[in-house]
Amino acid sequence: MKPISDYYNDGKLEIFVYEFENKVVVNNEELKYDFNHPRCIEYGKNKIYISDSYNNRIVIYDIDKKEYSEFGKGILSEPYGMKIYRNKIYIINSTKKTISIFDEKNNFLKEFKVGKLYPIKLDIYNNKIYVLDKSSSEIYLYDFSGEKTDELSIKLKFPSDIKVLKGNIYIADTFNKRVIKLSDYGILLKTIIAGDYYSILNIEKDNLWYYCEKKSELNKLKISLNKDNVEEILKSGNRKEELLYYYIRNENKEKTAEIYNKSLLNKKYKNENKKLIEFIDEKNKKELYKILNSYYWEMNNEIKEIKSINKIDNLKLSKPKAICVEDENIWLSLIGYKLLLKFNKDLNFKDAYKFEILFDKIAVNNKTIFIIDYYYKKVYLIDKENFNTKKVIKEKTLVSPVELKLYNEKLYVLDSYYKKIFIFTKDGSKKKEYKINGENPISFEIFENNIYVLDKKNSEISKYNRYFELEYKKKLNGLKYPESIVSDEYGNFFISDEGNGRVIKFDKNWSLLFEIGDFGMPRDLFFDKNKLYVSDFAKGELKIINMER
CA distance 302 to 218: 51
How much is the pTM?
0.53
Going from the C-alpha of 160 to that of each of 19, 81, 92, 199, 212, the distances in angstroms are 14, 11, 14, 5, 12
Distance of CA 534 to the CA centre of its chain: 16
pLDDT tens-digit profile of 231-241?
888 777 777 66
8-29 mean pLDDT: 92
* pLDDT recorded at residue 397: 80
Which residue did the predictor score with more confidence, 300 or 208? 208
CA atoms within 13 A on the CB side of 164: 22
User: What is the b/e burial string over 95-113, where b = at least 16 CB atoms within 10 angstroms of the residue's CB?
Assistant: bbbbbbbbeeeeeeeebee
Q: What angle do CA 428, 430, 434 make, to 5 degrees?
A: 130
3-state secondary structure of 367: coil
Q: Quick check: 221 and 193 in contact, CB under 8 A?
A: yes
- Mean pLDDT for 469-489 is 91
- Listed in sequence order, the residues at least 6 apart from 42 whose beta carbon sits closer than 8 Å to its beta carbon are 48, 49, 82, 83, 84, 89
Evaluate whether 411 touches 423 at the Cβ level (below 8 Å).
yes
pLDDT tens digits for range 262-319: 443 344 444 544 544 454 444 444 433 343 334 334 434 456 667 878 888 777 888 8
* pLDDT given for residue 261 in this prediction: 44
Hey, which residues does 333 pair with through a beta bridge?
340
CA distance 211 to 529: 46
Angle ∠(129,131,132) on CA atoms, nearest 5: 155
Contact 527, 533 (CB under 8 A): yes
Question: Could you report the per-residue pLDDT of 62-110, keeping only the tens digit for each?
Answer: 999 999 999 999 999 999 999 999 999 999 999 899 999 999 999 999 9
Instruction: Compute the distance between CA of residue 187 and CA of residue 13 in angstroms, rounded to an integer.
Output: 33
Q: Which residue, among 338, 385, 347, has the nearest Cα to 364 in the 3D structure? A: 385
How far is the C-alpha of 161 from the C-alpha of 169, rounded, in Å?
Answer: 10
Q: How confident is the model at residue 114 (pLDDT cuts 50, 70, 90)?
A: very high
